[in-house]
Amino acid sequence: MAIVGTGIDLAQIVRFRRFVDEGKTALLERLFTCAERDYALAHKDPASHLAVRFAAKEAFLKALGTGLRFGLSWQQVEVVRDELGCPSLHLTGRAQELMAEKGAVRAHLSYSHDGDYGVASVILED
């Protein structure tokens, strides 16, 4: 197995706290799937959970090397967690197709949040 792409992103938590506090529901619905919003908004302070999910999506787009073009949308890249809380990416539509076109069969995700920032790293493997 070889690495075919890497990406990293940093997101300011305060930015997402402002989106929640100002009721920017349409923006949150555009950036996050229903499951991602439900997970984050169930927490006392959802901003850090939203920030790392956004960073994960950006890191994936960087690893893919496309950015948000070629028919990609934020909704096609979803952060999910297994029963132990380990995060991974669930891809649909063009995100899934472009990853296959790149020759990648697996996406590895790691993220963390502390203080003012959330960070995520994605490694694509063939």
> Could you read off the pLDDT tens digit of each residue along the chain, which spans 126 residues?
899 999 999 999 999 999 999 999 999 999 999 999 999 999 999 999 999 999 999 999 999 999 899 989 999 999 999 999 999 999 999 999 999 999 999 999 999 999 999 999 999 999
Provide the β-strand partners of residue 106: 125
Residue 62 designated active-site: yes
- Of 62, 90, 102, 108, which one is the catalytic site residue? 62
What is the SS3 string spanning 15-36?
A: HHHHHHHCCCHHHHHHHCCHHH
**What was the pLDDT predicted at 28?**
98
pTM of the complete model: 0.95
Query: Which pairs count as long-range contacts for 20-28, CB under 8 Å and 24+ apart, including other chains?
Result: 20/46, 20/47, 20/50
Residue ranges and CATH numbers for the domains of the chain are 3-125 (3.90.470.20)
Q: How many CA atoms lie within 13 A of 84 on its CB side?
A: 2
Residue 113 designated active-site: yes
**What was the pLDDT predicted at 90?**
98
Residue whose entry in the numeric block shows the structure tokens 């920017």: 24
- Of 24, 43, 90, 113, which one is the catalytic site residue? 113
Would you give the DSSP letter of residue 6? E
Is the Cβ–Cβ distance between 122 and 56 less than 8 Å? yes
